Structure formats: structure tokens, C-alpha cells
Amino acid sequence: MTGQGKLYIRINQNDNVAIATGTQGLTAGFQMENGVVVKQAVPMGHKVALADIGKGKPIFRYGVPIGCAKSDLEAGEWVNETKMALIEPPDLDALPYPDLERMSPAALEGYTFEGYRNADGSTGTKNVLAITTSVQCVAGLAEHLAARITLELLPQFPNVDGVVAINHAYGCGIAMDTPLAEIPIRTLQNILKNPNFGNQVMILGLGCEKLRPEQLITEVLGPANQSIMYMQDTGLSGFGEMVARGMSIAGEHLKMLNGRKRETCAASELVVGMQCGGSDGLSGITGNPVAGYAADLVVRAGGSVMFSEVTEVRDAIHLLTARAADQQVRLSLIEQMKWYDDYLRCGQADRSANPTPGNRRGGLSNVVEKAMGSVVKSGTSAIVDVIPPGEKLKKRGLSFAATPASDFVCGTLQLAAGMNMHVFITGRGTPYGLSMVPVIKVSTNSMLSSRWHDLIDIDAGPVATGEKSVEEMGWKLFNYILEVASGREQVACDRLGLNNDLVLFNPGPIT
């Protein structure tokens, strides 16, 4: 990276645009180090042409083309989405093969955290009672019970962190026997196996729904009659008895959870979900590279990392297949890209619907530019596996969890995959949080961190100004992950009680 006065960055020597990094952007008349004079004000995170770019010629950022000029662009001109045409995505039938000679980085030894060991071999970073539902109809009862349990029962169980009502818009008026129905069903099944729930969950059903609560219970979670309650149970008279029954079931699970104690666990037990949302033009320079460096450290320590968001890696898929651990992983990556291409095509949508208006205001002109900055949060490790939507993590190391880009759907699917820590990078700002898993908020610029001083956990902004290196901030994030996983640090979302509902990915038909 090169720059002058740390007010802009040229990421790659082949780039013909630079990124404004100062909080005030670049002012008209500012002279860049190559003698180019900025023609008009360029906001922070946005691009400025370093040379004349002819109509139809590629615009390079990260050393790769991210679009083509719609008309002749002059050196010093502000380059935004109105001046760029989208280029074709990589051909899925002509992607690079994995580099099987890739050297493995040195292992990190001796890093630990204080976690909750489970009988199934997983490790939690929280100790939470989960109340889930088999149908949206009983969401009100779930919320009522969670509030009552928190107020009346939880004080008796000091080792339990909280009670979570897991509501969703599924379970009734659906076609249960279609191939696509398996995605939301297995998502719900695997959410209940998340290590932070300690194999102690209760399920509320109505009684007439298509998705039977018994389908969500597995041998890991114990007998169904100890965990399920139906509102339509003829043995219950009135809402008061329903609440009493629910409180009784909860009490038994709380006793089991209260017996859990934190103990020293190797960092190899970490399962970290990487996600970005409300991204800006600095995401691919600061927050995402910092997260990627931390991801590599987790993998070197023997732990697991997953990154996601199919539409936000599709235009960078050629970079990922080259990092596949073997040919099967390469083929699985291609399979998930093709599946999603077809899914969007059936819905008469395409990748041009991404980025969001906020992303564009933050300097991201199109999905290609967004993808090139998005994939760097995966670090540089070999990709050892691909996790289809709703399935669980199978291998330690770096995995791609195939999810939509939506923050809430992505987080839900990563939760089902088994993450016990979440890192969320944002440049525009979002209050996104999950009550089930600690969510570390990383800001891509110091202006956001200053304005949202009590919502952001780590500011990666100093990377843009040269005050800190990606390596320094990556180590800071890695160590903070260990502290949060141990319960010694509390993330802003948990401190403020800001949490989002889970949102199932349901591509199946609704009847």
C-alpha cells in the first residue's frame, strides 16, 4: 500500500484508482503523489482515478478489474457506481485448481480460553437455556416464558448466563416433503446442538403444525417428553397452567446447566464465524484483513473458522478454488455457487441487487468490488471443507459455510453450523447481535468507532491511516476473541442487550 499523508491508499501497484482514507475524504485541488490533482471532493472510502481511464476500459482495485468505465474518466475524477459497468462473473467451468503444494504455516501452541465442555465433545463460550418453537404461533408464549424464567428462576442458578427464546416464521402452511424443506428443518435441528446450549433445550409446540417438535429432538438432547410442551395439550387448562408447565420443564434444564463450570480449553476448541455487514470502501482495507489475520491465527492454533455469504464471494470464487485443500473442496465450492446462481435465476434476480444503498454511499460501487474485499476476512489458510446451508461443521480449520449474504440469515446458519464465537465487521454501522453467541463488532473506520463508541468493540480504522498494521490489529482481535470466549470480556451487544431474531433460510414452497 502506498499513500501521501495517509489520506489515500493505492492497494496494488496495478490499480488505476486509489481509496480516500481520511475522515474528511479528499478535497478538490488536493495533489496526489503522482502529480494528479483531485477534481472534486471524494468521500472517505470512495475511489479516485489515478490516471485517465478510457470508456470501456477496466477499473482496477486490489490488482484486479472490478468494473469498466461507462465513459471516459479523467485522472483525479471521483469514480463511483454511476460511472462503472458491471463485468461478467468468473466462469464456474474454468476455475483454478487447488495448489496442493501449499505450505502449512507454523502451528500456534499454548493458547487457551475458559470454556464449557459438553458431553458430545463440543465446547461452549456461553451457558444458555434455549427455548425454541416448532411454529410461529407459540412465539408469544416463548417470549413470555423467557421473561418469567429470567426474572423468577434464573437468580437461583448463578452459573447460567441467560434464557433465549428462539422464534422463527416456519412450521405451518409449508410443504414438508420437498427437497428444499430440508434446509430450514436441519437448520433448526442443528441450532439446538449449538455448544452454548449445553445439550439442554426445551421446545414449545402448538399441536396442529406440520413441523412436529419431535423432529427437532435428537438423541443428543434427551427424551422428548422431558423437553416438549404443546399449548393444545388437553391436560392443560388456561394460560396459567401452560406457563407453570413451561417453568417446571425449564427448572429441570436449568439445574443441569447450572452444573456446568468453565475450565481451561485449548484454542483449538474455538469455532469462529466471520461475517461482515453494513460494509464500506474501507472494509477490504482494514476490518476484513484484520479479521482474516485473526482467522489465520485461530486456524494455526488448531481451531475452526467459517466464512460465508455466497453472493459476496461469487465474483472472487477463482481466488477461493485456488485455496481449496483438495479437488473435492474445489468441486463443492463450485456446486454451491451454481446452486445459488440457479436460485437467483428462478427468482428473477441477479447479483446486481448487491450492494445495498448504504454500501454504495460508503464507497462500494458494485458486487465485484464488494466481493474482492469480502473474501479477505477468510485469511489465507487452505479451505478444508464446504458446509451446505443448515449443516454442521465437520472439520477443523477454515470452512466455507454456504449462506445468503443477509446478516440475519447468515448468522442463523453459522449458529446452526456450530460457531461458539462470532466476529462481525462493519463500516456503515449496524446494531446486529445474537444472544446465543458473543458477537465481536469490528469497525472499519475510526469515525464510526468514535461515533458508536459504546457499540463497537474493536476499531480497525488505524490500519487505514498507517498508525497500526494489519498484523498488530489481527493479534489484538485474536487475543480479544480468547478473552470474550473466557467470559473475562463482555461484548457491546451483550452489555446493551442488543440482539436480532434468527431468520431461517427457507427456499422451499409455502402452501
The answer to whether residues 134 and 203 touch, using CB atoms and an 8 Å cutoff, is yes
Q: Is the torsion defined by CA of 367, 364, 405, 336 positive or negative?
A: positive
Tell whether domain 119-258 is in CATH 3.30.420.
no
| Contact partners, residue 252, CB within 8 Å, separation at least 6 | 226
Residue 4, pLDDT > 70, answer no
Residue 2, pLDDT > 70, answer no
Q: How far apart are CA 319 and CA 314, in angstroms?
A: 10
Residue 375's H or E segment, with its range, is: none
Question: Residue 220: which pLDDT band, with cuts at 50, 70 and 90?
Answer: low
Percent above pLDDT 70 for the chain: 97
State the pLDDT at residue 402.
97
**What is the per-residue pLDDT across 426-475, written as a single tens digit (0 to 9) for each?**
999 999 999 999 999 999 999 999 999 999 999 999 999 899 999 999 99
Question: Residue 218: which pLDDT band, with cuts at 50, 70 and 90?
Answer: low
Question: Residue 222: which pLDDT band, with cuts at 50, 70 and 90?
Answer: low
Q: How far apart are CA 417 and CA 414, in angstroms?
A: 5
State the pLDDT at residue 472.
98
Lowest mean pLDDT among 56-60, 243-247, 299-303, 341-345: 341-345
**What is the per-residue pLDDT across 397-437, written as a single tens digit (0 to 9) for each?**
999 999 999 999 999 999 999 999 999 999 999 999 999 99
Of 400, 246, 399, whose CA–CA distance to 313 is shortest? 400
The C-alpha cell 463440543 sits at: 122
Q: How far apart are CA 486 and CA 115, in angstroms?
A: 6
Q: What is the mean pLDDT of residues 378-385?
A: 97
Q: How far apart are CA 306 and CA 416, in angstroms?
A: 12
Residue 341's H or E segment, with its range, is: helix 327-346
Could you give the strand order of the β-sheet that contains 228-230, starting from the edge strand earlier in sequence?
Answer: 162-166, 128-133, 201-205, 228-230
Lowest mean pLDDT among 178-182, 194-198, 477-481: 178-182
The answer to whether residues 298 and 267 touch, using CB atoms and an 8 Å cutoff, is yes
User: Which of the two residues, 54 and 509, has the higher pLDDT score?
Assistant: 54
Amino acid at 296: D
**What is the per-residue pLDDT across 37-76, written as a single tens digit (0 to 9) for each?**
999 999 999 999 999 999 999 999 999 999 999 999 999 9
Domain ranges of the chain: 1-88, 119-258, 265-496
**What is the per-residue pLDDT across 29-41, written as a single tens digit (0 to 9) for each?**
999 999 999 999 9
Q: How far apart are CA 427 and CA 379, in angstroms?
A: 19
Residue 511, pLDDT > 50, answer yes
Q: How far apart are CA 58 and CA 70, in angstroms?
A: 10
State the pLDDT at residue 38.
97
Q: How far apart are CA 143 and CA 278, in angstroms?
A: 29
| Contact partners, residue 439, CB within 8 Å, separation at least 6 | 422, 423, 424, 432, 433, 491, 493
Q: What is the mean pLDDT of residues 494-508?
A: 92
Residue 1, pLDDT > 60, answer no
Of 386, 479, 495, whose CA–CA distance to 431 is shortest? 495
Amino acid at 364: L
Q: Give the pairing of strands 84-85 and 421-426.
A: unpaired
Question: Residue 221: which pLDDT band, with cuts at 50, 70 and 90?
Answer: low
Q: How far apart are CA 11 and CA 227, in angstroms?
A: 54
Largest CA distance in the chain: 82
Q: How far is CA 263 from CA 102, 116, 266, 479, 499, in A?
A: 35, 6, 10, 18, 27
**What is the per-residue pLDDT across 292-339, written as a single tens digit (0 to 9) for each?**
999 999 999 999 999 999 999 999 999 999 999 999 999 999 999 999
State the pLDDT at residue 101.
74
State the pLDDT at residue 489.
98
Q: How far is CA 375 from CA 49, 164, 176, 285, 371, in A?
A: 24, 32, 35, 12, 6
What's the fold here for domain 1-88? Answer: 2.30.130
Question: Residue 99: which pLDDT band, with cuts at 50, 70 and 90?
Answer: confident
State the pLDDT at residue 354.
85
Q: How far is CA 442 from CA 68, 379, 401, 423, 432, in A?
A: 31, 16, 21, 7, 12
Question: Residue 124: which pLDDT band, with cuts at 50, 70 and 90?
Answer: very high
